[in-house]
Amino acid sequence: MGIRRLIAVCLVFAGLLALSGEAFGDDRGVRVPFSRGDAEEGELFMRLVRGAAVPFEPTVMELPQNCESEVLLHIKWSKSANTVSVHLVAEPGAYEPFPDVDRTQGVDYFPNPFFPEPEDVEDGQYQLWIVGTAGPMVTLYFHPASLDLLGSQFEFDGNPGDAIEVAFPTLIQIASPMFQPEPDGSLEFVWRFRYDHAVRGDRPDLAEMYYTFPPPNLCGANPFRLDLSTLRPWSYAGTPASKARPWSDFSGGGLLFDITVEPQVPYTDPPIFTNAGSYSGGTTVGGTIPGGYTLDIDHAFTGLAPPIKPFAGNGVCEPYTEPVHTKGLNFCQ
């Protein structure tokens, strides 16, 4: 399948230009994205904007100040000091404290047994997800007769009968602790974790979450045209902290970032994320993804240019939902 090309596309850490500049000390004075160093000692700085990295089926929330604010992200890492430091800064008005998410099934909310999330969120909180784009291959199982997705190697101890096995590349993700902005909508947030043991800030007993986009039924998959395939989110979040990866497994393959809106009480255990996002960005596009554009996931998966496209929710400050990816096509007929 074309989705396999994601690994080759995202192994190139070409996202941020190696430009001079100073951050950490005063992130507010820096606006030019940069990265420097290597996988063992380095840093990156970039702006997160609305709609820059939009996966399948998310709701990109309405944001204050006509949705034109940004969040500054600065990450420093040191293998010798065994630390990774993440710093988020936003000016007043960038955020709404305790946000609500109000969605309607079939309109902007699509239930998914392989990615369970709440339809609505009341008095929510925020969470940063750091996404490594070069995760491992994971085996998914499909029913031999109906061709429906049954589950993965994590739910089954070996092949459940005569199931069809398909290996999918994955994204690996870790999450920050939950946070809230100040009453004026500004933000100053710092999260630190070990370089050699990257665990979740909200659940230190857990390591990375796996995330990919399989077809719910193999009849919806076009082996030659990913853009014509029905693909939906799938996740597994039960990796124990004892299997935590080093930071280099994330940074070495390119990074994506997404700040989501989460309920006060997790919807699942172990928790995944809601498909309700705010600010996002990524290093998988040279110079970062500019405001008003979004990562073209179909092009990224299949190695086509350009890697970005105009963000369909830009220019209208209201919730925007990406629909189910190419729903309804049947290639078994």
The per-residue pLDDT for 26 is: 46
The per-residue pLDDT for 16 is: 28
Whether the Cβ atoms of residue 240 and residue 274 lie closer than 8 Å to each other: no
Task: Report d(CA 181, CA 93) in Å as an integer.
Answer: 10
The per-residue pLDDT for 333 is: 87
The per-residue pLDDT for 30 is: 52
Question: What one-letter code names the amino acid at 205?
Answer: D
The per-residue pLDDT for 284 is: 82
Query: For residue 87, how far is the Cα from the chain centroid?
Result: 18
The per-residue pLDDT for 11 is: 29
The per-residue pLDDT for 323 is: 92
What is the three-class DSSP state of 211?
A: strand
Residue 232 burial (C-beta neighbours within 10 Å; 0-12, 13-18, 19+): buried
217 φ/ψ angles, rounded to the nearest 5 degrees: -145, 135
CA distances from 234 to 45, 49, 115, 121, 323 (A): 30, 25, 5, 21, 16
The per-residue pLDDT for 288 is: 87
The per-residue pLDDT for 129 is: 98
Q: Please, which residues have CB within 8 angstroms of residue 295's CB and are 6 or more apart in sequence?
A: 52, 53, 54, 256, 282, 284, 285, 289, 307, 308
CA distances from 21 to 34, 36, 191, 209 (A): 8, 10, 22, 33
Whether the Cβ atoms of residue 301 and residue 307 lie closer than 8 Å to each other: no
Whether the Cβ atoms of residue 262 and residue 121 lie closer than 8 Å to each other: yes
Regions of the chain with pLDDT less than 50: 1-28
Helix (H) or strand (E) holding 78: strand 71-78
SS (H, E, C) 241-305: HHHCECCHHHHCCCEEEEEEEECCCCCCCCCCCCCEEEEEEECCCCCCCCCCEEECHHHHHHCCC
